[in-house]
């Protein structure tokens, strides 16, 4: 568990595009006055729409363009140099479309979190909605997890589900899942800000006071007790 003491939870968010999850996280922090601060939003693409959105809300933004580096290691070193200026408690990947090197992952071990559009360990990598349709699964979903050197296989913080319809195409399935992604990632940030998330000795995630981290198709957190 990250020791927040009396500090606000410092967050750096990495994006590659519009950053819709980033937007939801920022709006949730502001609306609910959470004890968290988005110190910077960083993209590997100068044309990422999320940068303009973040700058318009007074957030610090940076671009670290991956194409100017000769190797993944050089890019990751430059990215880490920018991140470390802010001494974040957590680095949140929110549609950041770069595979990070083991050295980078190790640098932020236990502090690097990603959202992936499938029910991991099923369908790691890209084109997850197409993979789900090809395999004929009846439930699809998303996963917030700690990042490890093995791509899309880190300890699971939370998962959400949506039904797969017979008429579905990848774009429709993606759109149905997006609301669950937004609400789930925002809830995970609440837990992080409250200092409730930890990893046990078996690398299983525990969230203090939360018996389940399963999210339903409407984006609500499953209540196993059935109580209001």
The residues carrying an active-site annotation are 116
CA distance 79 to 94: 15
DSSP one-letter code for 162: E
CA distance 130 to 1: 36
Count the neighbouring beta carbons within 10 Å of the beta carbon of residue 199: 16
Facing residues of 42 across strands? 14, 62
Count the neighbouring beta carbons within 10 Å of the beta carbon of residue 33: 7
Residue with tokens 């991991």: 120
Sign of the CA dihedral with 171 first, then 92, 204, and 196 last: negative
CA distance 140 to 178: 12
């Amino acid at each position: 568990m990250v020791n927040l003491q009396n500090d606000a939870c410092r967050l750096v968010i990495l994006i590659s595009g519009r950053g819709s999850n980033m937007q939801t996280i920022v709006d949730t922090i502001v609306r609910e006055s959470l004890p968290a601060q988005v110190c910077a939003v960083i993209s590997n693409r100068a044309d990422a729409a999320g940068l303009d959105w973040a700058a318009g809300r007074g957030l610090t933004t940076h671009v670290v363009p991956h194409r100017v580096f000769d190797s993944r290691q050089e890019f990751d070193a430059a990215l880490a140099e920018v991140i470390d200026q802010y001494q974040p408690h957590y680095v949140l990947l929110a549609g950041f479309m770069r595979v990070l090197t083991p050295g980078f992952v190790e640098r932020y071990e236990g502090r690097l979190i990603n959202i992936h559009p499938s029910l991991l360990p099923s369908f790691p990598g890209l084109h997850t909605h197409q993979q789900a349709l090809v395999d004929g699964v009846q439930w699809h979903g998303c996963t917030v997890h700690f990042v490890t050197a093995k791509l899309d296989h880190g300890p699971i913080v939370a998962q959400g589900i949506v039904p797969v319809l017979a008429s579905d195409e990848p774009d429709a399935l993606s759109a149905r899942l997006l609301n669950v992604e937004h609400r789930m990632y925002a809830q995970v940030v609440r837990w992080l800000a409250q200092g409730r998330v930890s990893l046990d000795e078996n690398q299983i995630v525990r969230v203090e006071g939360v018996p389940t981290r399963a999210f339903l198709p409407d984006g609500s957190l499953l209540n196993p007790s059935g109580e209001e």
